[in-house]
């Protein structure tokens, strides 16, 4: 069994209708509930009926987050290794059809980038690539992990989905986590967003979490791209996915992220607008639904928004990010996957976090804990 089997038991339209049918009484019952909340509770929390309860949700979310994670915020930084991509995702700056310079960093270039990152104080690194099996596939990533492993405490990947054996080989080289966002769980619309390339295979993508779990990946990151389809319905499916994976791959930990569509090269306009209040509601809903899941928020979001979310459910943030390969040594805006909204340097960012009464955690892993 994989998530695909679970997925097929849920239809988009009826799921959507059931979320929008939730009432104030459902929300109140969920908020008053003792013990763990379930998927029906999650529907109530993300429903329009919960909007008037946002303050209560925020209070609860903060309390639950502090209990589990303390007054701390973990920091990571992405390292974009390659923008070469054979996919045609209509919303992405790296899409194959975009006529831009294509770069895949070699070892020397990667080391230069990594050194700059290290000097900023980062211990948790996220490697990012497009999907180009020849240029940035498993063999390339293995090489990069070998190179970077001695320099960082934790290395995670946001790269193209792979086979289980390929993931296993990356775990052996020190990979800690894989982030794979489904983008949308709307089967009727998925093909329209991903017309060509390997990513057009929706089932293979839906089963990625299962393959990561089987390979022994320590953390699996989920999410959908907010702005494609109705965010409530897509988020329900993400929660369904999370719920299934947690039970099936019980030795992995999980994280959810909330990429909201931002302007980029190629100007894709979001189909569904996710407001700041919506995103806050969603983050609080996740925390109330799942007390243990890690919640990440990237520099796609504006400083004023991020600053306030430090206390409300988010556990992990990036800072000082560049989304163009080579960007830490020489920023090239043309090559960016998306524009950064929060361009504060790590020092300014950590000062802000501390001013909120939170400790910045640079290191929460050690390569010595994952023996080969």
Partner 1 sequence: MEPLIIQGREFSSRLFTGSGKFSSNQVMEEAVLASQSELVTVALKRIDMHNENDDMIAHLKHPHLHLLPNTSGVRTAKEAIFAAQLAREALGTNWLKLEIHPDPKYLLADGEETLAACRELAKDGFIVLPYIQADPVLCKKLEDAGAAAVMPLGAPIGTNMGLQTRDFLRIIIEQSTVPVVVDAGIGAPSHAAEAMELGADAVLVNTAIAVSENPVAMAHAFRLAVEAGRIAYEARLAPRLDKADASSPLTSFLYNL
In angstroms, give the least distance from the CB of 172 to partner 1: 14
Contact call for residues 295 and 286 (beta carbons, < 8 A): yes
Please identify, using beta-carbon distances, which residue of 70 and 188 lies nearer to partner 1: 70
CB under 8 A: which stretch of 12-20, 108-116, 339-347, 359-367 binds partner 1? 359-367
Among 9, 67, 150, 334, binds partner 1 (CB under 8 A): 67
Toward partner 1, which CB reaches closer, 30 or 350?
Answer: 350
Largest CA distance in the chain: 60
Task: Tell me: does residue 369 bind partner 1 (CB under 8 A).
Answer: yes
- Beta carbon nearer to partner 1, 158 or 246: 246
DSSP 183-213: B---HHHHHHH--SSGGG-HHHHHTHHHHHH
Binders of partner 1 among residues 251 to 280 (CB under 8 A) are 251-253
The upper half-sphere exposure of residue 285, i.e. CA atoms within 13 Å in the direction of its Cβ, equals 30
Q: Which residues of 253-274 are buried (b: 16+ CB within 10 A; e: fewer)?
A: bbbbbbbbbbebbeebebebeb
CA distance 211 to 245: 10
Q: Which of 246, 276, 312, 344 binds partner 1 (CB under 8 A)?
A: 246
Looking up tokens 């953390």 gives 219
Q: State which residue, 54 or 120, has the beta carbon closest to partner 1.
A: 120
- Of 32, 99, 250, 267, the residue at the interface with partner 1 (CB under 8 A) is 250
Task: State in angstroms the smallest separation of the CB of 218 from partner 1.
Answer: 8
Window contacting partner 1 (CB under 8 A); options: 27-35, 60-68, 194-202, 261-269: 60-68
**Residue 36 binds partner 1 (CB under 8 A):** no
CB atoms within 10 A of CB 146: 12
Q: Which one of 1, 32, 108, 368 is in contact with partner 1 (CB under 8 A)?
A: 368
Q: CB-hemisphere CA count at 13 Å for 75?
A: 25
Among 261, 309, 262, CA closest to 286: 309
Give me the torsion for CA of 267, 273, 274, 278, rounded to 10°.
170
316-318 and 124-129 as β-strands: parallel, antiparallel, unpaired? unpaired
Q: Considering beta carbons, is residue 97 or 292 the nearer one to partner 1?
A: 292
Residue 359 Cβ, how far from partner 1 at the closest point, in Å? 5
**What span, in angstroms and rounded, lies between the C-alpha atoms of 229 and 244?**
22
Scan residues 94-153 and list those touching partner 1 (CB under 8 A): 123, 153
What does the binding site for partner 1 look like in residue numbers (CB under 8 A)?
A: 66-72, 123, 153, 246, 250-253, 292, 354, 357-359, 361, 363-366, 368-371
């Amino acid at each position: 069994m994989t998530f695909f089997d679970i997925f097929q038991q849920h239809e988009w339209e009826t799921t959507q209708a059931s979320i929008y049918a939730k009432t104030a009484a459902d929300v109140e019952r969920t908020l008053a509930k003792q013990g763990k909340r379930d998927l029906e509770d999650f529907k109530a929390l993300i429903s329009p009926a919960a909007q008037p309860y946002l303050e209560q949700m925020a209070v609860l979310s903060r309390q639950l987050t502090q209990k589990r994670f303390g007054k701390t915020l973990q920091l990571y930084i992405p390292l974009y290794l390659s923008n070469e991509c054979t996919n045609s995702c209509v919303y992405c700056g790296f899409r194959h059809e975009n006529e831009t310079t294509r770069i895949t960093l070699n070892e020397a270039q990667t080391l230069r980038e990594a050194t700059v990152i290290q000097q900023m104080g980062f211990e948790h690194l996220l490697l990012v690539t497009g999907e180009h099996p020849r240029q940035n596939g498993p063999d390339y990533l293995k090489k990069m992990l070998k190179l970077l492993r001695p320099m960082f405490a934790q290395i995670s990947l946001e790269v193209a989905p792979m086979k289980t054996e390929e993931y296993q080989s990356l775990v052996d080289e020190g990979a800690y986590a894989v982030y794979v966002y489904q983008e949308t769980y709307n089967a009727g619309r998925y093909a329209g967003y991903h017309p060509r390339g390997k990513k057009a295979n929706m089932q293979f993508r839906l089963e990625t979490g299962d393959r990561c779990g089987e390979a022994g990946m320590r953390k699996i990151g989920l999410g959908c791209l907010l702005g494609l389809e109705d965010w409530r319905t897509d988020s329900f499916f993400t929660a369904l996915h999370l719920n299934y994976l947690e039970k099936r791959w019980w030795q992995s930990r999980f994280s959810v992220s909330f990429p909201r569509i931002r302007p980029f090269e190629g100007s894709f306009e979001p189909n569904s607008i996710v407001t700041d209040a919506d995103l806050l509601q969603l983050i609080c809903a996740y925390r109330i639904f799942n007390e243990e899941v890690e919640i990440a928020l990237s520099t796609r979001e504006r400083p004023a928004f991020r600053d306030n979310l430090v206390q409300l459910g988010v556990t992990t943030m990036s800072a000082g990010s560049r989304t163009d390969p080579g960007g830490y040594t020489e920023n090239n805006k043309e090559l960016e996957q998306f524009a950064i909204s929060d361009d504060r340097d790590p020092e300014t960012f950590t000062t802000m976090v501390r001013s909120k009464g939170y400790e910045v955690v640079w290191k929460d892993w050690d390569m010595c804990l994952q023996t080969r």
